[in-house]
Amino acid sequence: MATASEERWRARGHDGFWVSLKQALDRPQTSYQLVLGVAGLLLVLGLLMVLSASSVSSLREYGSSYAIFVKQAMWVAIGLPLAWVASRLPLRWVRAMSWPALVGSVALVALTYVPQIGVEVNGNRNWLSVGGSFQLQPSEFAKLALVLWCADVYARKGKLLRQWRHLIVPMLPACLLVVGLVVGQGDLGTALVLFAIVLGMLWVVGAPAKLFAGTFLAVLALAFALATTERERVQRLTSFVDPMAVYGDTGWQASHGFFALATGGLWGRGIGASSQKWGGLPESHTDYIFAIIGEEFGLFGTLVVLCLFVTLAYAGIRIAARTKDTFVRYAAAGIVVWLLGQAVINMGMVLGLLPVIGIPLPLISYGGSALLPTLVALGLLLSFARTEPGAEAALRARRRTGRRGLFRSRR
């Protein structure tokens, strides 16, 4: 039986934890530190899992277990400086580049239709040949461009957004152009992410419920129509309901994803111990890398990944809620909708809750075309975090304190 003093001590300790947590979350630099820390953890985990998941296929295809990992590390080496530059760009430069970025990304997507330039991969003509063995997927860059462009347009309209026509013009026609080009490539997965960005931006700017619901229903109907235009696509999309019924055909990938998750159990088989990466699970280091995480790190590992993405979303929403800059508010929320929406679609696909539509897991799946714009987006989030009241001053004070501490230690 605990004494009264022991009970009071425990209560103070419990309350002290929550008080400390609240104080940490209330600090102006918290958003910056959360984005930086979570992005770093996801990036390191991604490199580790690409190395593990791709080792077998890399050995078979290139004669080295490290070939695919080295390529991913190269993309990280390119993307990190770009993210740093993005984190230092003045907001007026970011806004000024939103229009050229959208026009440029649309032009690149359109180039995929040009023979000898556009490359078809897995039935989707959504890649550009940029020389040698390097290929680029321009629709990945269109996601970031669309977010920044919509944020800039809406920030300029200001009070005009109270009128419904200013909510959809010119945003909706431009978005439909981008989505139409992506759908023409056969890439339904990327088109769904772009649709999610459109809906998310409408929600962020406070679109009336009727307009938001109407747009959602229109997107749903259009997605259904696109999904049912080809018999092969219908079979692939509907096989997730019972993949074992079509195990030897369209259910192969989903079934082996389940096998990976099931054998992982609570704590996993250990890093590098996956059996599905030996050929049973297609796209083990790209779209289905989450299944390998579940096999090697178990339920614990998958929940850690989920928590990291939720924390990243919290930081982005916190930035959007605390900033006084309208463009930052819309852009930060748009980036959250994009990255979290894509992560949820990927995880839902692997867990059998959604059809297999070929969506990479941000920062973790292999691929430079998806990684580069994601890192730039996170760099922009770091820049946006500095616009929170008191954040810039707090970060400068912390840097000065760190430099003084380093100088004293050298003395």
Structurally, the chain folds into a number of domains equal to 1
pLDDT at position 406: 45
Tens digit of pLDDT at every position of the chain (411 positions): 556 655 654 555 556 666 776 776 778 889 999 999 999 999 999 999 999 999 999 999 999 999 999 999 999 999 999 999 999 999 999 999 999 999 999 999 999 998 888 888 877 788 888 776 778 899 999 999 999 999 999 999 988 888 888 888 888 889 889 988 998 887 888 988 998 898 899 889 988 888 778 877 887 777 777 666 666 666 666 677 778 777 777 788 889 999 999 999 999 999 999 999 998 898 899 999 999 999 999 999 999 999 999 999 999 999 999 999 999 999 999 999 999 999 999 999 999 888 888 899 999 999 999 999 999 999 999 999 999 888 888 888 877 776 555 445 555
Question: Is 100 domain-assigned?
Answer: yes
Question: Is 410 domain-assigned?
Answer: no
The torsion defined by the Cα of 308, 44, 254 and 250, in degrees rounded to 10, comes to: 130
Q: Please tell me whether residue 2 adopts helix, strand or coil conformation.
A: coil
Question: Is 198 domain-assigned?
Answer: yes
Q: For residue 303, how many other CB atoms are within 10 A of its CB? A: 12
Question: Is 10 domain-assigned?
Answer: no
Question: Is 3 domain-assigned?
Answer: no
Specify the residue for token string 């796209």.
283
Please name the residues in contact with 45: beta carbons below 8 A apart, sequence gap of 6 or more: 293, 305, 308, 364
What DSSP string describes 200-260?
HHHHHTT--HHHHHHHHHHHHHHHHHHHTSSHHHHHHHHGGGSGGGGTTTTTHHHHHHHHH
Measured CA to CA in angstroms, residue 147 lies from 88, 210, 284 at distances of 19, 23, 29
Question: Is 182 domain-assigned?
Answer: yes
Question: Is 110 domain-assigned?
Answer: yes
Asked whether 335 and 316 are in contact (CB, 8 A), the reply is yes
In angstroms, the CA 361 to CA 351 distance is: 13
| Cα 172 to the center of its chain, rounded Å | 22
Cα end-to-end distance, the chain, whole Å: 54
pLDDT at position 8: 57
Q: Peptide bond preceding 389: is omega within 30 degrees of 0, i.e. cis? A: no
Question: Is 298 domain-assigned?
Answer: yes
pLDDT at position 243: 82
Domain of 262 in residue numbering reads as 39-386
Specify the residue for token string 């330039």.
117
What DSSP string describes 78-128?
HHHHHHHHHHHS-HHHHHHHHHHHHHHHHHHHHHTTSTTTEEEETTEEEEE
Model confidence, pTM: 0.91
Burial class of residue 234, CB neighbours in 10 A (0-12, 13-18, 19+): middle
